[in-house]
């Protein structure tokens, strides 16, 4: 019977990852800890590793350099790279000893980080899945019917799409298409796009609520235009879904918020961000006895709302110099 015990290989791959972490080569560390996870998974499943680089590379988590290392181990029981890295470490002054992560701990960190790359999966869910025995994206595929909520199912369906950021040129296209679709409603693409960043993680739309219209009217219109292709959730003031220029394009996350006129400027300020800038401005407001949030600027003592007619008014009310969206990075 073939030897299916890969404990030594897993340990060696994890050791290489550990050394790479110590010498700040995170990318390589990730490759080797990912390979350790992949081998562990094969072992758990009672499967034998193939012995060619080509076949090994078909296993999720194993790439060219890690496949070579695995073949070396299969042939000699050693991995040259580990021996060299250990030698290199000896030559350097070893700093204070750091706690070593075991292969199992590395596997846990990797699996949880991997699960969190699925849109709609946070730390809690990822940890729960790990505790339930899931380790890889193949496991998610196997158990998807039992484990995924509706929002996560959409995240899973568009997994490879939603990992990618949206280039500004594509955001410009959304800007002009939405401009046509939204007619003379007051609206903006907020978030990183409004801060002039070269790419965005999602499309953050704000629309001012107008008598006679509802958010659902807008959503139905954009569905009819074949722009909105999947819904994550929808309420009277917030729609979360997927937008796509055409079936040939990458699908993107979109949030649309329906904003009452009184909240327009505080909402625009808030959803333009950045998140760090918002924290700083909120803290400044608080130190002056105000509460600033996405709904309003108000006096903390009596809840009185300060009337504003622009973002400039909000800055002025707090005695701050005005910052353009592009300047609001912290």
Q: Which residues of this chain interact with ligand TTP, rule CB under 6 A?
A: 191-192, 200-202, 204, 270-271, 273-275, 278
Assign residue 191 a region (left: φ > 0; alpha: ψ between -120 and 50; beta: otherwise): left
Residue 122 CB, nearest approach to ligand TTP (Å):
12
Residue 188 CB, nearest approach to ligand TTP (Å):
12
- What's the per-residue H, E or C state across 283-306? HHHHHCCEEECCCCEEECCCCCEC
- Is there binding between residue 202 and Mg ion (CB under 5 A)? yes
- Is there binding between residue 255 and Mg ion (CB under 5 A)? no
Nearer to ligand TTP, 25 or 274 (CB): 274
Distance CA 190, CA 203 (A): 8
Residue 277 CB, nearest approach to ligand TTP (Å):
8
- Please report, as residue ranges, which positions from 154 to 193 form the binding site for Mg ion (by CB under 5 A): 191
55-63, 155-163, 196-204, 225-233 -> range binding Mg ion (CB under 5 A):
196-204
Residue 19 CB, nearest approach to Mg ion (Å):
37
- Is there binding between residue 204 and Mg ion (CB under 5 A)? yes
Residue 271 CB, nearest approach to ligand TTP (Å):
5
Nearer to ligand TTP, 189 or 229 (CB): 189
| Contact residues for 222 (Cβ-Cβ < 8 A; gap 6+) | 181, 228, 243
Is 310 in contact with 181 (CB distance < 8 Å)?
Answer: no
Nearer to Mg ion, 188 or 202 (CB): 202
SS3 77: coil
Q: In a 10 Å sphere around its CB, with 0-12 CB exposed, 13-18 middle and 19+ buried, how is residue 289 labelled?
A: exposed
Structure tokens at 102: 């075991």
């Amino acid at each position: 019977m073939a030897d299916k015990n890969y404990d030594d290989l897993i340990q060696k791959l994890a050791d290489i990852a550990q050394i790479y972490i110590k010498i700040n080569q995170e990318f390589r560390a990730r490759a080797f800890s990912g390979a350790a996870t992949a081998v562990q998974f094969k072992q758990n499943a009672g499967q034998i590793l193939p012995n060619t680089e080509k076949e090994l590379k078909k296993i999720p988590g194993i790439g060219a350099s890690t496949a070579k290392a695995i073949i070396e181990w299969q042939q000699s029981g050693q991995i040259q790279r580990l021996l060299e890295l250990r030698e290199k470490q000896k030559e350097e002054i070893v700093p204070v000893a750091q706690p070593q992560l075991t292969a199992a701990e590395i596997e846990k960190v990797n699996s949880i980080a991997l699960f969190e790359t699925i849109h709609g999966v946070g730390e809690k869910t990822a940890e729960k899945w790990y505790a339930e025995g899931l380790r890889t994206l193949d496991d998610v595929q196997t158990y998807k019917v039992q484990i995924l909520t509706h929002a996560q199912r959409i995240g899973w369906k568009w997994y490879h799409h939603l990992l990618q950021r949206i280039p500004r040129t594509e955001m410009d296209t959304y800007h002009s298409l939405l401009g046509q679709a939204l007619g003379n409603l007051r609206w903006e693409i907020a978030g990183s796009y409004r801060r002039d960043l070269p790419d965005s993680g999602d499309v953050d739309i704000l629309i001012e609520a107008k008598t006679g219209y509802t958010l659902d009217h807008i959503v139905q219109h954009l569905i009819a235009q074949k722009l909105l292709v999947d819904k994550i959730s929808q309420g009277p003031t917030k729609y979360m879904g997927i937008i796509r220029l055409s079936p040939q394009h990458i699908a993107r996350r979109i949030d649309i918020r329906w904003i009452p006129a009184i909240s327009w400027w505080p909402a625009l300020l808030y959803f333009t961000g950045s998140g760090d800038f918002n924290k700083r401005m909120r803290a400044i407001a608080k130190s002056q006895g105000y509460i600033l949030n996405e709904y309003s600027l108000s006096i903390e003592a009596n809840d009185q709302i300060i009337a504003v007619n622009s973002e400039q008014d909000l800055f002025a009310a707090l005695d701050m110099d005005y910052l353009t969206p592009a300047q609001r990075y912290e």
